[in-house]
Amino acid sequence: MSTLKSLSAALFSAGILVAALPAAHADEIADLKSAVQQLQAEVQQLKAQQTQTAQQTAATQKMVAEKPASTAPIWNPNDPLRLGGKDNFVKLYGDVDQFGAYLHSSSGANLTALYDGALLRSRLGLTGSRVIAPDYAMNFVLEQSLDFRTGGNPGAGRVFDRQAWAGVQTPVGEFRVGRQNTIAFFDGGKIDFTSRTLGSVVNAFGVPSRFDRDISYSSPRMAGLHLQAHYALSSANGSTVGSNGAVYQLGADYTNGPIDVGYNGLWGNAPAGATYNTKAEYQNLYADYNYGRGKVYLTYVRSNVGPNSGFSNIGGIYSAATGVTTPLTGTSSGINNYYNIYQISAAYDVTEALRLGALYGKIRSSTISNAGAKGWAAGAFYTGYKSTTLYALVNGLSNDTNAAFMEAGSSGPLNSPGFSSADLTGKRITGIEAGFLYKF
């Protein structure tokens, strides 16, 4: 462009010069006219080149704009375990949760041990998502529990013992199918300051954890209301023949400012020809209030899937390793024993990183005398280190004469190692625990 401007200026100057020299010699005028003609030719040539260059630039820009996005994985240094972009990614994740405990029974027995999973069962997982159309995405989760004390696999016989599901996210909610956590298990953070883990009286009773062949729906939150529904086909034969062995769930959660109230219910059918046909039942009602520096939690549970109920998938305990038995055996009269659990809890944020909490709860049997328990817990959680939580708890659990409840973490009761039945039944258990949770 600058060259073209220079030549144009020279051409203009030459024209003025020719006009200003009327008396010049003929040969000089001829030479000057020749130079002007040459300059004119060069100007035309540069204009043609400029037009061609502009056309090539426009064509290149069009090709770049129309070129499809690269399908090569995108690595993000801020999240090194994730590959992909916003609309298409796969991520490796997991956690390590290890704690030491000193437990004392009023029988005189003491226990000092290392356990896995106070807050979260140690695990390794893979999750991913891919947008397949506007407002539609395919999602999946594969998750395996680990025991970092030994390097063992607590879910022996399964490749992914905790979760293995695929689903589609739509404008009207998410639909999933596979091995999934229950609503009660997933809503643990709304139950008490421990997120319904170690120290929780509700957790000492037990919570139905997850089921195979589970079909679920989760709605968007609309005007503060979130709805969920699950239906797990019979684990005995993978079908819905007479609904035998099937497990179904319903859940609703409503949030309005500092208040959160919710309900989740689970019912499990006995297999065909069962001696006891009573449905397995677990119903939970909760209410939370956020007062600014912490929360107050109230919760109530009614269930008949307590001790000796024949309901296998509770408190982190799996059915058979291959998953072919029914969650409810229908062979135990314990399914006719109902329990009511009441618990109150509060948490206080001392700083942004330090949270203190306490709780008190009771387990009462409505059909068997002296078969309940009462318990308490206090604890502290520190999150001042990146991806790491340090925690310490003290707790107590007093069993009635005919009860043998035991403290439980995210991975189930502290029974590996644990107390004998004689050290639990009718006894008072106190404990001190401290550990860390590291997420990656």
Asked if 303 contacts 286 with a C-beta cutoff of 8 angstroms, the reply is: no
Residue 319: per-residue pLDDT: 42
pTM metric for this prediction:
0.80
Q: Which residue has the higher pLDDT, 29 or 438?
A: 438
12: DSSP letter: H
Query: What's the rounded mean pLDDT across residues 134-163?
Result: 91
Count CB neighbours of 336 within 10 A. 12
**Residue 21, pLDDT above cutoff 90:** no
Residue 9: per-residue pLDDT: 52
Say if strands 225-232 and 388-399 run parallel, antiparallel, or are unpaired: unpaired
285: DSSP letter: E
Domain 88-439, architecture per CATH: Beta Barrel (2.40)
Q: Which residue has the higher pLDDT, 31 or 118?
A: 118
Asked if 187 contacts 226 with a C-beta cutoff of 8 angstroms, the reply is: no
Calculate what percentage of the chain has a pLDDT beyond 70: 80
In whole angstroms, give the CA distance from residue 257 to residue 290: 8
51-106 pLDDT, tens digit per residue, is: 776 666 665 555 444 444 444 557 677 788 999 988 899 999 999 999 999 999 99
Instruction: For 319-340, give the secondary structure using H, E and C.
Output: CCCCCCCCCECCCCHHHHCCEE
346-363 pLDDT, tens digit per residue, is: 999 999 999 999 999 999
Residue 292: per-residue pLDDT: 96
Residue 236: per-residue pLDDT: 53
List the single range of 36-50, 111-125, 128-142, 242-256 with lowest mean pLDDT.
36-50
Q: Is 74 helix (H, G, I), strand (E, B) or coil?
A: coil
In whole angstroms, give the CA distance from residue 294 to residue 359: 14
Tokens at 91, concatenated: 């991520």
Residue 233: per-residue pLDDT: 86
282-313 pLDDT, tens digit per residue, is: 999 999 999 999 999 999 999 999 988 988 76
Asked if 253 contacts 268 with a C-beta cutoff of 8 angstroms, the reply is: no
Calculate what percentage of the chain has a pLDDT beyond 90: 66
Dihedral sign computed on CA atoms, order 407, 411, 415, 418: negative
Of 411, 408, 405, residue with least CA distance to 428: 405
Cis peptide before 417 (omega within 30 of 0): yes
In whole angstroms, give the CA distance from residue 386 to residue 65: 41
Domain boundaries, the chain: 2-66, 88-439
Query: What's the rounded mean pLDDT across residues 116-133?
Result: 96
Residue 155: per-residue pLDDT: 76
Residue 382: per-residue pLDDT: 98
191-244 pLDDT, tens digit per residue, is: 999 999 999 999 999 999 999 899 999 999 999 999 999 999 875 555 444 557
Q: Predicted confidence band at 317 (pLDDT cuts at 50, 70, 90)?
A: very low
In whole angstroms, give the CA distance from residue 329 to residue 325: 8
Average pLDDT, the chain: 86
